[in-house]
Amino acid sequence: MLAKIKDILSGNYSDGEEIEVGGWVVKNRSSGKIVFTTIRDSTGEIQVTTKKGNVSDDDLMTADSLSLECSVRLKAKVRTDARAPGGKELVSTGIELVGCAQDYPIFGEGHNPEVLLDLRHLHVRSKELVAIMKVKDSVLNAAREWFRNNSFYEVTPPIIMSSSCEGGSTLFEIKYFDEKAYLSQSAQLYLESLIFGLENVYAITPSFRAEKSRTTRHLAEYWHIEAEMAWMGLYEMLNMLEDLVSYICNKTAEERAEEIRSLGSDPEYFLNLKPPFPRITYDDAIRILHEDGYRIQWGEDFGTHEERQLSMHYDKPLFITEYPLAVKAFYMKDAGNEKVLNVDMIGPKGFGEIIGGSERETDLGLLEGRLRKQGEDPSKYAWYLDLRRYGSVPHSGFGMGAERLVRWICGAEHIRDTIPYPRTISRLYP
């Protein structure tokens, strides 16, 4: 079995011990009789020295010819050397070129972002994107851990849907045999149906939004962490969300401190993030924005600039509750005074909305009326409306954008770097 570079650097192998390693070339330089090669695997980087007399002449020639991103397999002895990066290096006793990489198209820094997106299949190897993907892995694992520890069941709702959840203007339409269908905007409606048997459920699934947006926080395809809880009101859910987000951030910072730091973010902040989070109402938010010189009127939804401004007042995620009914979805619980029992969680320092949720409306007549007002035919939602006819209970739910959470933790400038192959209004390839 091949040794992992992280285990070598951690001292799991003694000096002089001969091991086998596989990896890719990060850089290579030669002084004629000795070749210094830095290789990487999924766990780290290490320097390899290939010296005349330690290997055959053919192996020395192979080492000398290595270029960026060649894949190699080598036999080597471990050596402690304070001058080497990480304090360890490998002394090669044999090297095999597994896959050449002639004229690797990504070299150095300063590439045009669109070029890197065209070469995404190669750019995903970069140190930055590898670090972000490791952070994302920890985020998803931590979310699942929290749900399991808190008596939730993971379920698998459909991705192909017959009707809208969040509004028809952002639907991707597809042909489903001889019928019209849509890619899922949210698993919410199906998750609601499952609480009547399982009570607390969650799903981590792809969602699709045909939003013609070019902001740094919008994707047309993203991963959605969603949950629905029976017998739970809005403000009880806020307490739960504080605990969930804190757990994910704490666990991820504990596991990925090195990666988070390498990306320019602060793992200590996320390691020490604890409840409570600040809470304001929509009315409070309007007042703050007016004091800050914004001209937004009551009844208007917040955009990127308004959310950024509000978040600058707090150093923790911010809960904003009780938005106007007119700017929110049909399924949100009526709070009276033309408001709904909903919440948006806004990331600090301008990272924008990360979570949206609400207590769900249980009044059948109100739901039917709202659907008609939005131009929808209630008969298309007959199965969903049945949930209010047969044993309905108070319940709440939320959706968290996995990539938005990762972007905040990593301090990434653009959300496209939090997903291996971003899908945006202008990007479908590769």
Q: What CATH number does the domain containing 87 carry? A: 2.40.50.140
Which domain does 291 fall in, by range? 120-418
What was the pLDDT predicted at 32? 81
DSSP 53-118: TTB-HHHHHHHHH--TT-EEEEEEEEEE-TTSGGGEEEEEEEEEEEE--TT-S--SS---HHHHHH
pLDDT single digits (tens) 276-323: 999 999 999 999 999 999 999 999 999 999 999 999 999 999 999 999
Q: What is the 3-state secondary structure (H, E, C) of 252-290?
A: HHHHCHHHHHHCCCCHHHHHCCCCCCCEEEHHHHHHHHH
State how many domains the chain has: 2
Q: Which residues contact 278 (CB under 8 A, 6 or more apart)?
A: 314, 316, 318, 319
Q: Does residue 93 sit in the same domain as residue 170?
A: no
Interhelix angle 234-255/402-410, rounded to 10 degrees, is: 50
What Rg do the C-alpha atoms of the chain give, in angstroms? 26
Residues 203, 198: Cα–Cα separation, whole Å: 13
What would the pLDDT profile of 2-11 be if each residue is shown by its tens digit? Answer: 999 999 999 9
Both tokens of residue 396? Answer: 């709440």
Write the pLDDT tens digit of every residue in 60-102. 999 999 999 999 999 999 999 998 888 999 999 999 999 999 9
The verdict on residue 427 lying in a domain is no
Question: CA 45 to CA 5: how far, in whole Å?
Answer: 6
In a domain, 108, yes or no: no
What 3-state class would DSSP assign to 168?
Answer: helix
Q: What is the dihedral of CA 398, 403, 408, 411, to 10 degrees?
A: 180
Structural domain contains residue 372? yes
What band does 170 get if pLDDT is binned at 50, 70 and 90? confident
The DSSP bridge pattern shows strands 221-230 and 395-401 to be antiparallel
Residues 6+ apart with CB under 8 A from 41: 4, 5, 21, 22, 23, 24
Please tell me the predicted confidence (pLDDT) of residue 229.
99
Q: Are 299 and 327 in contact (CB under 8 A)?
A: yes
Structural contact between residues 27 and 35, judged by C-beta atoms closer than 8 angstroms? no
Residues 370, 247 share a domain? yes
Q: Are residues 245 and 302 in the same domain?
A: yes
Please give the DSSP secondary-structure letter assigned to residue 23. E
Which residue, of 64, 99, 134, is where some domain finishes?
99
Q: Which of 44, 69, 99 is the last residue of a domain?
A: 99
Residues 6+ apart with CB under 8 A from 230: 195, 196, 199, 200, 393, 394, 395
Residue 359 lies in a domain: yes
The pLDDT, as a whole number, for residue 16 is 97
166, pLDDT greater than 80: no
- Helices 127-149 and 234-255 sit at what angle, rounded to 10 degrees? 130
**How many Å apart are CA 39 and CA 27, to the nearest integer?**
7
| 346 shares a domain with 285 | yes
| Same-domain pairing of 200 and 274 | yes
Residue with tokens 């002449």: 57
Q: Given pLDDT bands bounded at 50, 70 and 90, which one contains residue 167? A: low
| Pair 90, 207 in one domain | no
Residues 6+ apart with CB under 8 A from 158: 184, 190
246 and 330 inside one domain: yes
Distance set, CA 337 to CA 288, 299, 360 (Å):
21, 12, 17
Both 381 and 294 in a single domain?
Answer: yes
CATH number where 195 lies: 3.30.930.10
pLDDT tens for each residue of 234-243: 999 999 999 9
E strand or H helix at 225? strand 221-230
pLDDT digits (tens, 9 = 90+) for 27-61: 999 988 899 999 999 999 999 999 999 999 999 99
Residues 283, 361, single domain; the answer is yes
Out of 29, 64, 99, a domain closes at 99
Per-residue pLDDT tens digits for 340-380: 999 999 999 999 999 999 999 999 999 999 999 999 999 99
Inside any domain, residue 110: no
Alpha-carbon distance 362 to 389, whole Å?
9
| Assigned token pair, 177 | 């045999």
